[in-house]
Amino acid sequence: MGVATYKGPFGKAQAERLLWRAGFGARAGEAEALAKLGLKRAVRALTRPAAYQLVGPDPRDERNRPIAPVDAIGHDHLSWLDRMVRTNAPLVERMTLVWHDWFATSNQGVGSQRLMLDQIELFRLNALGSFKDILLGVTKDPAMLVWLNGNQNVRRRPNENYARELMELFTLGANRGAYTETDVREQARALTGWRGNVANRQSTAFTFEPARFDATSKTIFGKTGNFNWQDACQLCLDHKLHPSFFVTKLWSYFVPTKLDAATAKSLQELYASRRVRPVVEAILMHPALYDGPRMVTPPVVFNAGLLRMRGRYVDTSTWWTLGRQAGQQLFYPPDVGGWDDTRWLDTATFRGRWFIAALAQADGGMPSDSPRDPAKLVERALGFWGSPTITSTTQGLLRAFAAAQLKRKESPANVETALRRLVASSPDLHAV
Amino acid sequence: MSCNDCDRSDRFRRAAAAGNGLPAIEPGMPTPAGTGMTRRAFLSRSAGLALAVYGGNGLGSLALDDGIAQAAATAPADQRVLVSIFMNGGIDALSLLFPAGDPQYYTLRPNIAIAQNLGRAFPEDDRLRWHPSADGLATLHAEGKVSVIQAIGYDNSDKSHFTARHYYEVGQTDAHLRTGWLGRYLDRVGAPDNPVQGLTLDTTLHPALATAKVPVATLQGADQYNFAPTPGVPAHRLEASMLQMAANIGAAHKKSTDPGLRLAGQTAYDAHRLYYQLGAFRYGFKSPVSYPSSTDPFPRRLAGLAAMIAGGMPVRVVGLSMGRFDTHAGQPAAFNRDLGLASGSLLAFQRDLEARGIADRVLVHVWSEFGRRGAENASNGTDHGAAGIGFLIGSRVKGEQIGSFPGVSGGLDGQGNVRPSADFRAVYSAVLEQWLDIDAGEVIPGVQAFSRPALLK
């Protein structure tokens, strides 16, 4: 029995939802084109993209200078936002964001934008590939070694920070009986041996030194051997509770409703090879994604989406401060647990999203021939964003707003620009 | 760099540079809420502001039937406030109140133990001394205004930040509960229309304050809830009308059957209410005492909170967080810095409340998700442990320790961690019943079995 597939109509609205969940919203005309492919080909267009390309002008700051991702504060955020906006493979960037949250590493503890960008590149290269490659890669990744003290984990007195999160957050999950406190300590010993550090934003080489490695016997999950860091990862990947942890966590990035037992079982079968793509494809074709409730868009996805809808590119450094205000500064997740994807919206983050919507349309200029017709003004304001699907409730209130402002003798052009702001900050685009 | 400070100064610089001043919503704002501002003055200014901003824009006004103002008008002037402060990362109890009188401590921590002659004595237990950076707490303790919760925790902890923090937030050892213990309290006693009753002063909502029914608010500080202008984002002529309209659109969706639309709608609606209600604080506030100067927003958030409570804001529970106490490596320097700031800020907050004459209304509860391992690790740090430490601070607290320090010679479990002597649910139950005046069982089912410590004088 395979995974259930969505059988309902796959039109513009469904394609828009797919693009928000698996990418960063739709460029003008993109949802319509995707809908024409039908569900299966549409999903595959995302999961099996053409050779990676960035389309459009390079990112600039507000004075038209190139950005400096490695050196300037916040430009790390800008450079990744730019990729989200310009990529021809949105799911690759979206999965990279998933891995950034999954293996949440913060530059707060690393202190090197270079190492952070290198880690993200590891995720990007393996975005839809093998989870084993990702796990082995991140375990010896310099930013991760600094972040969870793997570089200070030496024989005799191990530092168990990485060992615990490897099992709890990355592969097995807490409260499931998957591992014991003894397993944490034994894993920590298996993970000894790495060195390297960052000082004043400059990193040394990160190397494995046999002299720092605890080359004695360890017992992990009831198996005994002289395990090393690769074994530590493999033991987790082979653990019988890993596949269920993996598919449940991955599901939660795309669908807000709970994963049912039958689907979980089928997804685990698709994950037998430890490859990511088949599982993502099945989730993106699942009925729950299309028939189920809306999902609040992460702030950086919301931001990139508005720019894609507009056909605008990164041309100001303000985005990174707004990302922070909206609750998501890339490379600075709140802690190793990542962002809470179920709690993006509160009164504080709403304010950041309000500014993002304001700035995303700020370069649009004053319309010159705005009609004195509320319905037409609303239609034009929607057209400004590539005509996204909006509820009739919101449309009705936008028309009422336009009518009231026109009655107060407000200029139609001002009303139209206000409507642009209101479209972008409507509940319809915060949750899709 | 303090982002709050830079946002603030940038905002004014930008407004000036733009040449057109602040947008229409800003002129005629009330003067900053000072220390002498009365509740009555606050309320009348809020109402006046609401009329000035929204009267006559032709859209109807959510402001005029505002729940926050109503709640402020009807709340008793002696409304008690609970301030919950999270010491993020698992603060090392064995450094904060260190067992100077226990030789085993120096064996477990050859490199990072605090020297025996440092810090102030802890009169309730002659084995313990206050960390030298905890002088503010020691001072308040000497005045009888701090109850130390010794070896707080729960049985069979799994040493995970996330599990432990979640349990403390929801008030139960339940991995799946979505409402916080303070949120459920608000759901029982709160108003359907007063977001500031549950106030998170942080970048995002504290899960302990997550409700199922009534609205709550999150903001970065009393004077940090501005909607226009902000650096880099031009203001629109219709700024105030747009914010109002976004709230109207939100109101139309806040009963939606779709949870995403419902949340987005409710948030837009609450944001608007919060924005104008905080008008009096938008350009700052005055404090009668000085707080530690820091790029960390914590002291300023506390200062703003004192001003808001004194100003009559209808606040019931508040959440803040402080520090990065997950000290796996290089513990001493980071710990000294963050503890010093926390302790100094808490002392200043208490002095502020005293100067404003509202200290009897406020109880501060300081907590962390766990304590740390008895033995140090090889990186001059400590790994995750079990039982930790907490505090209740205020003019009304009993000032006697809750639970007792089990010692590191005999008090460690088989994994080298401190055994719990007080259960967090017992403390929560006591706070709910003795401070917030509600049967704890209504908020935390199944807590009848825990015997409540006496918290108040």
Ordered structural domains, chain B, with CATH: 3-65+226-281 (no CATH), 81-186+289-443 (3.40.720)
> Which pLDDT value is given to residue B70?
62
A138 and A277 in a single domain? The answer is: yes
| Residue bearing the bigger pLDDT, B97 or B176 | B97
Decide if A256 and B259 are in contact by the 8 Å CB cutoff: yes
d(CA B186, CA B180): 10
> Which pLDDT value is given to residue B156?
84
For chains A and B, what is the number of CB pairs under 8 angstroms?
212
Residue B163 pLDDT more than 50? yes
Nearest beta carbon to residue B162 from set A148, A174, A325: A174
Strand B362-367, strand B81-87: pairing: parallel
Tell me B423's DSSP state: E
| Beta carbons within 8 Å of A58's beta carbon, 6+ residues apart | A66, A82
Decide if B259 and A359 are in contact by the 8 Å CB cutoff: no
Do B294 and B337 meet the contact criterion of CB atoms below 8 Å apart? no
Q: Residues 213-252, chain A: which have Cβ within 8 Å of B? A: none
A119 and A239 in a single domain? The answer is: yes
Do A255 and A283 meet the contact criterion of CB atoms below 8 Å apart? yes
B241 near A CB under 8 A:
yes
Mean pLDDT (chain B) is: 85
Whether A277 is in a domain gets the answer: yes
3-state class of A60 per DSSP? strand
Name the band, by pLDDT with cuts 50, 70 and 90, for residue B271.
very high
Residue B45 pLDDT more than 90? no
Decide if A159 and B259 are in contact by the 8 Å CB cutoff: no
Q: Which residue in this structure is represented by tokens 């406030």?
A: B81
A280 and A372 in a single domain? The answer is: no
The dihedral over CA atoms of A114, A119, A121, A126, expressed in degrees to the nearest 10, equals 170
Residue B186 pLDDT more than 50? yes
| Residue bearing the bigger pLDDT, A157 or B224 | B224
CA of B220 vs chain A CAs: smallest distance (Å): 7
A243 and A390 in a single domain? The answer is: no
d(CA B370, CA B359): 29
Residue B7 pLDDT more than 90? no
Whether A296 is in a domain gets the answer: no
**Residue A168: closest CA among chain B residues belongs to which residue?**
B160
A395 near B CB under 8 A:
no
Chain B positions touching A431 (Cβ under 8 A) are: 258, 260-261, 263-264
> Which pLDDT value is given to residue B71?
64
Residue among B176, B177, B256, B263 with most chain A CBs within 10 A, to mutate: B263
Chain A positions touching B321 (Cβ under 8 A) are: none
Decide if A394 and B265 are in contact by the 8 Å CB cutoff: no
d(CA B265, CA B417): 46
Decide if A327 and B203 are in contact by the 8 Å CB cutoff: yes
Decide if B377 and A157 are in contact by the 8 Å CB cutoff: yes
A151 and A259 in a single domain? The answer is: yes
DSSP class per residue in B177-241: --S-HHHHHHHHH--TT-GGGEEEESSS--GGG--SSS--EEES-TT----S-BTTB---TTHHH
Into how many domains does chain A fold?
Answer: 2
**Boundary (domain end) residue, out of A291, A320, A350:** A291
Q: Residues 108-137, chain A: which have Cβ within 8 Å of B? A: 108
Instruction: Tell me the pLDDT tens digit for each residue of B300-328.
Output: 999 999 999 999 899 999 999 999 999 99
> Which pLDDT value is given to residue B43?
45
> Which pLDDT value is given to residue B218?
95
**Residue A352: closest CA among chain B residues belongs to which residue?**
B227
Mean pLDDT of B232-253: 92
> Which pLDDT value is given to residue B67?
55
A267 and A398 in a single domain? The answer is: no
CA of B140 vs chain A CAs: smallest distance (Å): 31
Residue among B25, B165, B211, B218 with most chain A CBs within 10 A, to mutate: B218
Chain B positions touching A348 (Cβ under 8 A) are: 200, 202-205, 218-220
Chain B positions touching A363 (Cβ under 8 A) are: none
Whether A379 is in a domain gets the answer: yes
Q: Residues 357-416, chain B: which have Cβ within 8 Å of A? A: 376-379, 381, 383-384, 415
Whether A316 is in a domain gets the answer: no
A62 near B CB under 8 A:
yes
> Which pLDDT value is given to residue A272?
98
Peptide bond into B229 cis (omega under 30): yes
d(CA A268, CA A282): 11
A123 and A251 in a single domain? The answer is: yes
Whether A130 is in a domain gets the answer: yes
Chain B positions touching A152 (Cβ under 8 A) are: 328-329, 377-379, 381
d(CA A55, CA A45): 17
Residue B64 pLDDT more than 80? no
**Half-sphere exposure of A288 toward its Cβ, with a 13 Å CA cutoff?**
17
H/E element holding B412?
Answer: none
> Which pLDDT value is given to residue B175?
80
B159 near A CB under 8 A:
yes
Residue among B253, B257, B262 with most chain A CBs within 10 A, to mutate: B253
Q: Which residue in this structure is represented by tokens 């719990």?
A: B420
| Beta carbons within 8 Å of A210's beta carbon, 6+ residues apart | A193
A107 and A246 in a single domain? The answer is: yes
Chain B positions touching A175 (Cβ under 8 A) are: 158, 163, 175
Do A159 and B329 meet the contact criterion of CB atoms below 8 Å apart? yes
Whether A259 is in a domain gets the answer: yes
A272 and A145 in a single domain? The answer is: yes
Whether A21 is in a domain gets the answer: no
Do A130 and A150 meet the contact criterion of CB atoms below 8 Å apart? no
A87 and A210 in a single domain? The answer is: yes
d(CA A198, CA A175): 34
Chain B positions touching A149 (Cβ under 8 A) are: 328-329, 379, 381
ipTM tops the 0.85 cut: yes
Nearest beta carbon to residue B378 from set A157, A168, A343: A157
Give the amino acid at B385: G
Decide if A175 and B218 are in contact by the 8 Å CB cutoff: no
CA of B288 vs chain A CAs: smallest distance (Å): 27
Decide if B329 and A407 are in contact by the 8 Å CB cutoff: no
| Residue bearing the bigger pLDDT, B278 or B19 | B278
Name the band, by pLDDT with cuts 50, 70 and 90, for residue B1.
very low
Nearest beta carbon to residue A427 from set B59, B232, B250: B250
Q: Could you tell me the pTM of the whole model?
A: 0.87
> Which pLDDT value is given to residue A386?
96
Decide if A418 and B242 are in contact by the 8 Å CB cutoff: yes
d(CA B267, CA A427): 9
> Which pLDDT value is given to residue B51?
35
Do A328 and A300 meet the contact criterion of CB atoms below 8 Å apart? yes
A427 near B CB under 8 A:
yes
**Residue A167: closest CA among chain B residues belongs to which residue?**
B160
Instruction: Tell me the pLDDT tens digit for each residue of B114-148.
Output: 999 999 999 999 999 999 999 999 999 999 999 99
> Which pLDDT value is given to residue B37?
36
Decide if A401 and B236 are in contact by the 8 Å CB cutoff: no
Among the listed residues B343, B414, B10, B225, the one whose alpha carbon sits nearest the alpha carbon of residue A180: B414
3-state class of B418 per DSSP? strand
A156 near B CB under 8 A:
yes
**Boundary (domain end) residue, out of A266, A291, A316:** A291
Please state, for a pLDDT cut of 70, what percent of chain B lies above it: 84
Residue among A187, A346, A353 with most chain B CBs within 10 A, to mutate: A346
Tokens of B456: 């108040």
Cα distances (angstroms) measured from residue A424 to each of A233, A305, A394: 44, 10, 11
For chain A, percent helix, then strand, then coil, each to nearest 5?
Answer: 55, 5, 40
Q: Residues 342-371, chain A: which have Cβ within 8 Å of B? A: 343, 345-351, 354-355, 358-359, 362
Nearest beta carbon to residue B217 from set A62, A347, A427: A347
**Boundary (domain end) residue, out of A264, A291, A318:** A291
Nearest beta carbon to residue A431 from set B216, B261, B383: B261
Q: Which residues of chain A have pLDDT under 70?
A: 1
**Residue A424: closest CA among chain B residues belongs to which residue?**
B246
Tokens of B162: 């996330």
Give the amino acid at A269: E
Strand B146-153, strand B388-393: pairing: antiparallel
Nearest beta carbon to residue A394 from set B161, B220, B249: B249
Decide if A294 and B241 are in contact by the 8 Å CB cutoff: no
Decide if B249 and A169 are in contact by the 8 Å CB cutoff: no
> Which pLDDT value is given to residue A18?
98
A53 near B CB under 8 A:
no
Do A116 and A142 meet the contact criterion of CB atoms below 8 Å apart? no
A80 and A203 in a single domain? The answer is: yes
Q: Among A240-244, A330-334, B69-73, B330-334, name the one with the lowest average pLDDT.
A: B69-73
d(CA B195, CA B199): 7
Range of the domain at A430: 367-432
Mean pLDDT of B275-294: 89
Chain B positions touching A160 (Cβ under 8 A) are: 377, 383-384
> Which pLDDT value is given to residue A21?
98
Assign 3-class secondary structure to A372-420.
Answer: CCHHHHHHHHHHHCCCCCCCHHHHHHHHHHHHHHHHCCCCHHHHHHHHH
